[in-house]
Structures are given as structure tokens and as C-alpha cells.
Amino acid sequence: MMKWLVVLAALVAFAECLHKMPLIKGKSARQTLKEKGLWEEYRKSHPYNPAAKFYSSGTESMTNDADLSYYGTISIGTPPQSFSVIFDTGSSNLWVPSVYCNSSACENHNQFNPSQSSTFQWGDQSLSIQYGTGSMTGLLGSDTVEVGGISVAKQVFGLSETEASFMTYMQADGILGLAFQSIASDNVVPVFNNMITQGLVSEPIFSVYLSGNSEQGSEVVFGGTDSTHYTGTITWIPLSSATYWQINMDSVTINGQTVACSGGCQAIIDTGTSQIVGPTTDINNLNSWVGASTDQSGDAIVNCQNIPSMPDVTFTLNGNAFTVPASAYVSQSSSGCMTGFGQGGTMQLWILGDVFIREYYAVFNAQSQNIGLAKSA
């Protein structure tokens, strides 16, 4: 009996090392703009440019993605001030709006007030993050940041002073980047790095589960994995570059036929991009293979009734096949159906965003620099 109690105590202690950060699947900017009757006009003046986030110009970039919908709440400061953020594996900085910001985007979001936090300290650098449609500029400071029950001390983050108008229509207040320090603006140490060095997680791993349609249930787990969210085994894929969470993709196929990424390409697993994005010529080919036609705003439209007969698309990553069915890559709304394959322009990098991650539970190991994928439960 005593032996079992010891085992049980060890299991309980171990279970406490998993820190779950629930995410809400909220309203996207597209939905908000459509409700206000502003969508068509907005999209015409601000074409979707998913690649903007990945053009390295020394400043970190971010996309004007209108379909991002997963947010989690963190707090900053003593006493804590709360913010909803996008947990973004495609960027590396943390930033939130501040009381020094007069942009319209700051006025309808929570703003950090450093004078109300006893643990806040100013940094000596400014921060500039490029968007697809403008930029966010601000100042760096440091404070205690609480994420999923973990308190990270002296975390450097950005306090925005100006924000692109696009942010007005996003539900999230800010962004929490989960990629590597090598691409962080001002070489700031990312939140997850600090969790590891401050000994706050039992393993240098975080994992992401994105639920399909329900508002509740999505989560980021810091310090390990949650086996209730996947079935079968986790397939591990080594990173080809520890900048983004970047891996080798061998091909994109339909019924065994290569339709994109012929001869291989690079892909990143990115929770901060809603679609699967690739070079425009590849994406156009992929969309025509599945029977979609692209409208003037760049959306690939399909007839909703065709979904059951549309083909699976297989992404082969480092020799392992990951298949995404039409039920997963087509999104349905009151205004019809469209595929989740987005044009990335001339950029050669593929982005496997939320459309892919909803199908495959993703595990990110910062130490061994690999990504684990398993079928979502």
C-alpha cells in the first residue's frame, strides 16, 4: 500500500508541472467587419498579406490575418493587469497596448499602465513591429508576466504607443510570441525561454490543441503534453532552422499526385496564421485541384455541397504523411464556403497554420529542437 501511495504522490507532483492555458475561440476580425458591413471595402484597401510576417527586415513582422480566433488571457504586473493575447508560434515578442497609445486600436482594448505596477521597470530600447498593413511601435519594459499559472519574473515586453488600424477589429489585445530568440525584435528573451531558465516548467516543451468549432476546449500546455487531446503516437520531426518552428516538407499531394512543393520546400508550424499558406502559384494549383475558384479578394470559393466529394490533401513532412480532409480545409460561414489555402505571394516558405493544427496536435520541444505531431482527438 505504501509503495502505491509513493507512486501516487509522484504522479500528483508530476501532474502539477503541466500548466494549462485555456484558449477561447472568439470572433475573428472578418466576422466583426462583416457585421459592420465593412469587410469588402476593408479587404480591397488591405489585401491579405500573410507573408508580411516573415520578411525579415530587422524588425519583427506580423500579419493582418482576419481569421485568427484563438485567444488566451495572461496578466502583467503587480497587482496583475489582464490581457487577451494570441499565442503565436510564428513570432517571438510579447507586446500589449499601453496607456501611452492613442491609436483607435488601443482605445477599444485593454491598456497596460506601468505606474500601477510595483514590479515594472522601463527598458532602454524602443520596439517596432511591422504588419502587413502598417506597424506597431512602442517601448520596452519588464515586469512579472503570469501565463497559465506560471509567473515569469522580469519578462521584457513591448508597450505599444501606436498600432495599425487593423488591430481595432481583432479581439485580442496583443501577441505572445513562442518562436525562438534568434528572430525576436531587439533580441528580447521570449517568454518560454524564461520559463525554462527560471525552472518553471518540468520539460522544455509546450503543446497546442485547437478545437474545431467549439468556443471552449482549445489550450496551450506549458511543460508537457495532454494525452486527452490526441490519439495514437506522436511523430517527431527535427527542425531545419531554429528561428520559426521550421521543418522540411517533401511534397503536397492529392491522390498520390504532387500538386505543390515539388522537390521539397520549407514549412513552419504557426499558430498565429489561420490558414495554410504557400507560394501563390502552388496555392492556385492546389485550389484548382480541389475545385475552388479564387474571387477578387483572394478567397478560394467552393460550393458547400461539394465538401463530401472533395479530395484529401496530404502534406509529407520529413517522410511522414499528414492528411487534411476537406471537412478540415473548407470553412463554412453564412456567406458560403472557402478553402483554407491562402496565397503567400513569391515567398517560398509554407505556413501550416490553424487549419493544419486543428487536425494535428502540435508539440514544440525547444531543447531538442523538434516538433511532434499527432492526430487531434
Residues with catalytic function: 88, 270
Bridge partners, 317 (sequence order): 249, 320
Sequence-distant (6+) residues with CB within 8 A of 359 are 322, 324, 325, 328, 375, 376
Bridge partners, 278 (sequence order): 343
Q: Shortest CA distance to 69 belongs to which of 15, 107, 23?
A: 23
* Backbone torsions φ then ψ of 45, nearest 5 degrees: -85, -20
The stretches of the chain forming alpha helices (DSSP H) are 2-15, 29-35, 39-45, 104-107, 191-197, 280-289, 326-329, 354-357
- Please answer whether residues 184 and 60 qualify as being in contact, where contact means their C-beta atoms are separated by less than 8 angstroms: yes
Sequence-distant (6+) residues with CB within 8 A of 96 are 76, 83, 85, 110, 111, 112, 157, 158, 159, 160, 173, 174
What cell numbers appear for 263 in the block? 522537390
Q: Which amino acid is at 235?
A: T
Sequence-distant (6+) residues with CB within 8 A of 360 are 322, 373, 374, 375, 376
Query: What distance lies between CA 79 and its chain's CA centroid?
Result: 28
* Backbone torsions φ then ψ of 324, nearest 5 degrees: -120, 115
Write the DSSP assignment of 39-102 as a string of letters: HHHHHHHS---GGGGG--SSSEEE---TT--EEEEEEETTTTEEEEEEEETT---EEEEBTT--
